[in-house]
Chain A
């Protein structure tokens, strides 16, 4: 993975930059000591590491604004960072950039039950939002599996999902407003406690922009009352095709479960050995279907799901009878990544989304690729929305295995695109999938996205080297060859 060449002139000015930052952020908010910088050298994509120029941890919007204005004026790049749990390297430092950490923005500012929203600082964890309101029976719906650690600001940068987004939506469907700072220090407010602010939906394009457009300093999210109850059912099948068909049959019956997860045999075995959730070991595919809502609805629907599954050839079926049992059902799936991690020194987690009716084909071709590369793979799948997480097992200490695993992963993602899907469903592009963008987008597609980048950050100082494989100067992107009066009148019907 090639990152942009560091600007030596900036690196030479390091001492001067540190001094300037210390006048803005007093105390321990400016980190320049190499041993301490180590803690910031990577995010959740640990295969890539780089020490940042320095780390700055501001505490107020005014400080963020001053930092960005200084950097804008002095040609210093910025890598925004939330909790550093991202899986695609979006917060990977650059040698000539300040890593701007938002961890000190950790306060819940306003809880407004009548308007069903909470205003929080971006460094509050995803689970922290729920914790702040759960005593009153409310919660924040998107629940990425890193929710105990990941920050809400990072969730917005990545448009994070989770296991409940088929029913409750992704981050983008649950954010109402933002305060943000542009690279030149301008502070903006987008949205608020009301819905669908007029004008262009800049809130929508900020969500999932991976730190390339602005720095988020305040967030307003929708909170919901917790469902009365939830029950889960485990369903085992002799093939993943049957499992996939069962998901379609449930949806075709008009049922949208709170969550539908699927695991293949290697994933079932790995998680069962790790957490002993009581999963059947003799099935090829296991579904966890969770229904939530009023007790009477959940009881009614879970029975229907059981019937549908029987018709689809389920060979195993077990319904949770208690809240504890439901938690046990989920414990395996929620620990799938660490469980697979125990089977192998290293693993890569892929994140493509596919049309669900292509699942059997994709799993078959993935198995063939596994043979070809000589690397094992386990699959977990957000079956409701088609988001597939193949986990590729490898040993980074074996020369060449990381490269091989990355090629294998790249081939899986190309396959996802080939069958009509996309490169990433919820983990983001970052550096990990940056060079695969051309598989899904044409040069013109990518240029149009980068023109939006130019509207926000014309000097390309925010998180450069991420998401887009080629950096074009904004002047070049904006240029148009207009041949006035040279284009013939189009030969199309007119009236």
Chain B
């Protein structure tokens, strides 16, 4: 049985890391463990459980910033923000359903986990990812030293932006003990314009057009017919065809105006429908959380692939021709969710070959621990970049005590 260290505060986190360095005993850093399936299995003898470093410590809605312990549950953060009619605009996906959790439960995971995995959602195309809203933090480095970077204000260029390095580092550089994020008002109204039918190429072209318009598109997805049929939203499941969706948010009159303009634009391409508040929210949650690949598809392996949007359809053709499975698109074609029946190598070679020409990265988001141990979960980096990344790791955690192997074998 793995021993679990459960510090109550930042001082105890420091003690634990100092001890780990002294004993050369790596730590698996986690709180609720909802993202344990994301990344490679960690090679560590002990767990550093941060779940007691929880709670919102500073939140003044007028300042648009929120400070919290890293283990503050997302559900708690979302509740506090909703009470002030605000939100995390980067719309972090909830990995819970993908890893077998309920598809209609409150958000799982913690704010620290969201940042450590640099999560985002369909609004990424307009508002950025966790990295873009992460303003500052306090942490204990793998050297066993307390340090901080950034601040609690929205605009800050004082010193290197280490927040960017922490976002997406999966706990391999330092243990965060406090985080500050930017928050923003919730849009007054949300609607989605649906275009029925059309192949992937035409759909991606329509999405790129919409994103390149002045309509401030806040979501641009395409579900091929087989994926659309799995939707819990009646209009989408019942389309009997592929569904291309564009989300519009903002003040009421503006949303109506922009939806009308988009509808006009799409009419030439096929039948058009509109999703209003509840259905629109449900649809984008499905897209965000990869719900089409849950339930009876829970056994499939799932890749999350980021490419230039216009390359999306070609990449999907190569993937499905070579490996079977099916895919849908977010980010105007730039984010591909791809599910395939289980293979020993998760199709890694073919997946990476499919994006070699256009550039991009493929992350194996769901597979058994054995597969994630054997396959490069994150996109391998070219030699010089890999070497620089290893030097960055050494700069924070030279003894390799924090989440070893989580991102790259041996690091």
The interface of chain A, by Cβ under 8 A from chain B, is 112-116, 137-138, 158-159, 161, 165-166, 169-170, 172-173, 182, 186-190, 192-205, 207-209, 212, 225-228, 248, 251-256, 293-294, 296-297, 300-301, 353-357, 382, 385-387, 420-429, 433, 437, 440-442, 444-449, 451-456, 467, 478, 480, 482-495
Chain B contacts for A437, CB-based, 8 A:
158-159
Segment 1-40 of B: residues with Cβ below 8 Å from A: 3-8, 12, 15-16, 18-19, 21-24
- Give Cα A274 to B127, complex, Å: 38
Least Cβ distance of A353 to chain B in Å?
4
Assess whether B155 is in contact with A492, with CB atoms less than 8 Å apart: no
- Give Cα A491 to B211, complex, Å: 54
Assess whether A169 is in contact with B308, with CB atoms less than 8 Å apart: no
Instruction: Report the tally of A-B residue pairs with Cβ distances under 8 A.
Output: 317
Does B167 have its Cβ within 8 Å of any Cβ on chain A?
Answer: yes
Assess whether B388 is in contact with A490, with CB atoms less than 8 Å apart: no
- Give Cα A448 to B165, complex, Å: 12
Chain B contacts for A354, CB-based, 8 A:
153
User: What are the 10 A-B residue pairs with the smallest beta carbon separation, nearest first?
Assistant: A204-B164, A297-B254, A490-B15, A254-B185, A487-B22, A193-B308, A455-B391, A248-B62, A451-B395, A425-B155
- Interface SS, A side: loop
Chain B contacts for A190, CB-based, 8 A:
385
Known contacts: A114-B310, A437-B158. The answer to whether A200 contacts B389 by CB under 8 A is yes
B213, B254, B384: the one within 8 Å of A296 (CB)? B254
- Give Cα A446 to B145, complex, Å: 12
Given A199-B168, A454-B391; 5 other pairs, CB 8 A cutoff? A200-B168, A204-B161, A205-B165, A490-B15, A493-B8
Assess whether A441 is in contact with B212, with CB atoms less than 8 Å apart: no
Chain A contacts for B156, CB-based, 8 A:
353, 422, 424-425
Query: Which of B148, B157, B187, B254 gathers most chain A CB within 10 Å?
Result: B157
Query: Which of A172, A387, A426, A490 gathers most chain B CB within 10 Å?
Result: A490
Assess whether B5 is in contact with A490, with CB atoms less than 8 Å apart: yes
B6, B60, B161: the one within 8 Å of A357 (CB)? B60
The interface of chain B, by Cβ under 8 A from chain A, is 3-8, 12, 15-16, 18-19, 21-24, 49, 52, 60-65, 85, 118, 120, 124-125, 128-129, 131-132, 141, 143, 145-149, 151-165, 167-169, 173, 184-188, 205, 208-209, 211-216, 250-251, 253-254, 257-258, 306-310, 331, 334-335, 359-361, 363, 378-379, 381, 384-385, 388-389, 391-396, 398-399, 407
Least Cβ distance of A375 to chain B in Å?
24
Assess whether B159 is in contact with A429, with CB atoms less than 8 Å apart: yes
With both beta carbons as reference points, the residue of chain B lying nearest to A297 in the complex is identified as B254
- Give Cα A194 to B311, complex, Å: 10
A172, A225, A490: the one within 8 Å of B213 (CB)? A225
Q: List 7 A-B contacts (CB under 8 A).
A: A195-B331, A201-B131, A207-B161, A254-B185, A254-B188, A424-B158, A452-B162
Least Cβ distance of B32 to chain A in Å?
15
Assess whether A494 is in contact with B5, with CB atoms less than 8 Å apart: yes
Assess whether B22 is in contact with A485, with CB atoms less than 8 Å apart: yes
Least Cβ distance of B381 to chain A in Å?
5
Known contacts: A182-B388, A198-B378. The answer to whether A254 contacts B85 by CB under 8 A is yes
- Give Cα A231 to B159, complex, Å: 36
